Amino acid sequence: MKRILASAVAIAAATALAGAAYAADIRRPPPPVAKAPAFMAPPFSWTGFYVGANLGYGWGDGSGTMTAGGATGRISGSGGGVLGGGQIGYNWQTGVFVFGVETDFQATGADGDFRGTLAPGAVAVVGTTETPWFGTIRGRLGYAADRWLFYVTGGGAYSKNEVTGTRGAIPFSASAVGWSWTVGGGIETALTNNWSVKGEYLYIGPPDKLPVPAGYGVTGDAEAHVLRLGVNYRF
């Protein structure tokens, strides 16, 4: 009988200990499960070479003084037209700032009219102007907000300008390639890691050479404005 009681007590004690251990296991929080690190895409960078194309519109006006055959008078005119071309450049980004250089070349359909009167004699001067092409070489300074770039730009511009007209019944024509300066700004946004689109405005100052027909004297100023949209591919 004593053996039976001892065995029963031992079984009860073992059961109680097992139950307490099980309860402790239930109350103990499970060990943390290690999670795989989330994939982090590298931050977007504007650094690198790019090439692109653009399409836009340009307009301008000018005025000055013409002298011919002993007569002098004021002339003025204005005009505009569609333009398009390509650009190539390089950007370097440090922090949120982007430094770059860009050159472009444009073909244009820009033309306009000018007129004036030379005195003495009240001789009428009428004609047309054309700018078949122009280009720029500019620096760029921008602020990057991830895939958006806000920038200002400035540098040199060169262009070919042509005039054709008449002074009274006497025809004249001339052409010249001159240098000028340009400033402007724009916004560019990256659609993918390689492709971006931009909108840009440029102001172009007076050229250093005007188209002056032989036997004439012409002095004056002219200015131009350019609005264009472009697309770039970065390497």
Per cent of the chain over pLDDT 90 is 81
- Range of lowest pLDDT (30-39, 151-160, 213-222): 30-39
Whether domain 48-234 has CATH 2.40.160: yes
Closest CA to 136 of 96, 170, 97, 108: 108
> What is the rounded average pLDDT of the residues 76-87?
98
pLDDT at 232 over 60: yes
Q: d(Cα 182, Cα 139) in Å, to the nearest integer?
A: 10
Q: Report the mean per-residue pLDDT for the chain.
A: 88
3-class state of residue 22 by DSSP: helix
Q: What is the pLDDT of residue 105?
A: 98
